[in-house]
Amino acid sequence: MSPRPAGLKDIRAITFDCYGTLIDWEGGAKQSLRALLQKRRPRDTGLFRAEFLDELFRAWERAQWTRIQQGYAPYRQIAAESLEQVAAEHELPLTGADARAFADSIATWQPFPDTAAALAKLKQKVRLGLISNIDDDILSASVARLEVEFDLLLTAEQARAYKPSPLPFQRALERLGLPAEQVAHAAFGFEYDITTASALGFRTILVRRHRREFPPAPVPDLIVADLAELAQIFG
C-alpha cells in the first residue's frame, strides 16, 4: 500500500466529479453518437471511424463548454442544443429528436470497471460526495450504477450554476459541514474541477484515466492512474 501524502492525512471526505472520473463519459458519448449516425446513415462507414467519432466528441465538448459559460439552463437542454449545433456544422443528418435522445442516453452510460469496488473500499475510510454538472434525475440513474451510498449529491440543477463556477463547490462544503482543507476533490480534468477546487482550498486528486496532457498548475496533492490506485492509497 502506498502511503497517503501528508496533505491528505486529515481528509474526512472525498468529493468526485462523476462523468469522466467515475462514469466513462467519452466512451458512452461515442457509443451513443455512433448509434444515432448508424440509424440515420447506415451505409456511410466514414461516420463510424474512430477518428471521426473522436472529432465529433471533441467538437461537442467545446460547444457545451461555451454554452455553460452563458448562464444556467437544464443540462439536458445544453447537451442537446450543443449536439444540434455540432451536427449542423458537420452537415450531419441528426434531428432535434436525435439530439434529445443523445442527452437522455447519458443516464445509461456505464462506470469504469474499477469504480464500484474502489468506492466501496473508500466508503470505509471517508465520506463520499459527488459534485456534478448534470440534472438531478440523470445523476440519480448514474448513482444507481455505482453501488455505494453517497453522503452528498450536488448537481448543477441544485446550485443553479456549472463548474468551474465556485458555487457548486461552496454548496458542497456547506452541506458537508467541513472546511475545504478537510475535503479532497477528485477529478480527471482541470478545466471544470481541479483549478477551482484548488483555489477554494480543497485538497485535489487528479485521476488521470486515459488523459496524458495537463496544465502545469495548479499542482494536485495526489495523482493516480485510476480509482483502484486511489482506494489502495486510502485503504
Q: What value does the CA radius of gyration of the chain take, rounded to a whole number of Å?
A: 18
State the alpha helices, DSSP H only, in 11-143: 25-40, 50-68, 75-89, 96-105, 115-123, 136-143
Q: Active site residue: 10, 17, 24, 98, which one?
A: 17
221 as an active site residue: the answer is no
Tally the C-alpha atoms within 13 A of residue 146's C-alpha that lie toward its C-beta: 28
Best CA proximity match to 156, nearest among 135, 183, 126: 135
Contact 235, 121 (CB under 8 A): yes
Dist. CA 225–CA 32, nearest whole Å: 26
Task: Report, as residue numbers or ranges, the catalytic residues.
Answer: 17
